[in-house]
Structure 1
Amino acid sequence: MTDRMSFGPLTIAFDERVLRPREWTAAQSSWAAELMTTAPPGPVLELCSGAGHIGLLAVLVSARPLVCVDASSVACDFARANAVAAGIADRVEVREGRLESALGDDELFPVVIADPPWVPAAETGRYPEDPLTAIDGGSDGLDVARACLAVIDRHLAPGGSAVLQLGTTAQVDLLKAEPALTEGRLTVTEVREEERGVLARFDRT
């Protein structure tokens, strides 16, 4: 059965196969929308988009196109339907596929939003109401986050910024050991602790 909930001014449709939108994640939308005001021109990319709520809210009052990527066909169908309901389907493209192959080599995005699963595999039992594939981040919770960071490394435009959602500041610190950061292509410029997770901003250096 399709459920619906308010997410800011949007009404988001989803069902039990898709992660239920968390109200606190509107903070990620707001931060991305703020970055858009000074970012270079170009489309916004949302990785692990689920029902699309975070990206849709982020671009709602801008004129920027949005590209949503998710491996789940169900999530992609809801993201498309939610774009229609938001009245911005004409500038939203939803791509079903793996993070590593959903984008062309030459595609660059000045703003990237990523909401990967970040719960360590041993702790997923604490959230029985959530689809396992939407929350299981592997042994340290960072398997998909690392894949997102690799995509950000390849596709973040010069002068661009990405906002990545994680569970803890300790996870942010672990990601600082990834090649994109140790080799100086990306830098963590700010971390914000929210109600049930953290948001980290990565800038192209």
Structure 2
Amino acid sequence: MSVTPSPSAESSASSPIDPLSSSAVVTRLRAAGCVFAEDEAELLLSAARDPAELAVMVERRVIGHPLEHVLGWAEFRGLRIAVDAGVFVPRRRTEFLVQQAAALAAPGTVVVDLCCGSGALGAALGAVVERVELHAADIDPAAVRCARRNIAGVEGRVYEGDLYEPLPVALRGRVGILLANVPYVPTEEVGLLPPEARIHEARVALDGGADGLDVLRRVTADAARWLAPGGRLLFETSERQVPYALEAVTDGGLVARAVSDDEMYATVVIGTRPA
């Protein structure tokens, strides 16, 4: 027979953490190197349904799981985006990409989100642009499952497969906004990423090949066939990769330009199909 300990019995227990104590959770997180321990503790305490679940969540965070995977969601442009274990966590700097796309998209625009991951970009764009026709694709089955939940609210469709391959042929020549949050970390530098990324996120969402631009070149090579006249391709890249990314866009028959936001440490390349 199990017995629920009284409050006095709980306080005298030898466990190093009282799972109901905010200060104890903060102390444990801070000792594990969490810079924003107070904020994280508040999120974990509000998310846990009972002390046992809180203890498990704290332990997962302490051993290095991304906070977003522990919570099951990430905040992105004011939205709560479902993020399952192993799925790429949307970065705050990528909000700049959505900002650029929103400024270019008209109501009713056909939007395609390639390498969609959790579907955060499509969901965020659909939240600010009326009546978008949203299609998204990713090669990772776990990401596809997340994306289907996240873009259901804007009636988007998600396809599983490699880049353009799973998209309906009827979309060719109709896409107004093509988002492509491609992996752009060079293979040799993946091992330098923080453990939260290199251990707990799918490598296919991080590894961009020898120079980080392998997947991008495949996207730009076919983008003009899918874009409508005047349609735009937008993707994020690193500052040092900009010249090569612009070259890839130009080689694909698009007019290329780059925009940056120093505060967000974000660089976005925009390729436009000539009208």
* TM-score (ref. length: structure 1): 0.87
In structure 1, distance between residues paired with 2:156 and 2:169? 20
The runs of 5 or more residues in structure 2 that have no matched partner are 1-69
Structure number with the bigger relative contact order (C-alpha 8 A, sep ≥ 6) is 1
1:29 to 98, 102, 111: 98
SS in 1 for 2:236: strand
1:20 aligned residue: 89
What is the CA RMSD across the aligned residues, in angstroms? Answer: 2.0
**Which runs of at least 4 in structure 1 moved beyond 4 Å after TM superposition?**
none
1:101 aligns with 2:165: yes
Identity %: 31
| Aligned-partner residue type, residue 172 of structure 1 | V
In structure 2, distance between residues paired with 1:151 and 1:69? 15
Q: Which has the higher helix share?
A: 2
SS in 2 for 1:148: helix
1:173 to 240, 243, 265: 243
Deviation (angstroms), 1:52? 0.6
Q: CA contact under 8 A between 2:221 and 2:251: conserved in structure 1?
A: no
Deviation (angstroms), 1:100? 4.0
In structure 2, distance between residues paired with 1:63 and 1:53? 17
| Aligned-partner residue type, residue 69 of structure 1 | A
The runs of 5 or more residues in structure 1 that have no matched partner are none
In structure 2, distance between residues paired with 1:44 and 1:63? 10
1:42–1:58 CA distance, 2 compared to 1 (3 A): closer
* TM-score (ref. length: structure 2): 0.66
SS in 1 for 2:151: helix
1:186–1:54 CA distance, 2 compared to 1 (3 A): same
1:74–1:190 CA distance, 2 compared to 1 (3 A): same
Deviation (angstroms), 1:106? 4.2
SS in 2 for 1:119: coil
1:83 aligns with 2:147: no
In structure 1, distance between residues paired with 2:250 and 2:175? 18
Q: CA contact under 8 A between 1:2 and 1:13: conserved in structure 2?
A: no
1:3 aligned residue: 72
Deviation (angstroms), 1:59? 1.6
In structure 2, distance between residues paired with 1:102 and 1:68? 10
SS in 2 for 1:149: helix
In structure 1, distance between residues paired with 2:91 and 2:256? 24
SS in 2 for 1:129: helix
Deviation (angstroms), 1:103? 2.5
Q: CA contact under 8 A between 2:176 and 2:230: conserved in structure 1?
A: yes
| Aligned-partner residue type, residue 132 of structure 2 | R
1:119 aligns with 2:174: no
1:58 aligned residue: 125
Q: CA contact under 8 A between 2:75 and 2:81: conserved in structure 1?
A: yes
| Aligned-partner residue type, residue 95 of structure 1 | Y
In structure 2, distance between residues paired with 1:4 and 1:163? 25
Instruction: Please say which of residues 75-84 and 98-107 is displaced more in the overlay.
Output: 98-107
**Length, aligned pairs only:** 196
2:204 to 133, 140, 145: 133
Q: Which has the larger radius of gyration?
A: 2
Q: Which has the higher strand share?
A: 1
Deviation (angstroms), 1:177? 3.5
1:188 aligned residue: 256
Deviation (angstroms), 1:10? 1.0
In structure 2, distance between residues paired with 1:118 and 1:139? 10
2:228 to 157, 162, 179: 157
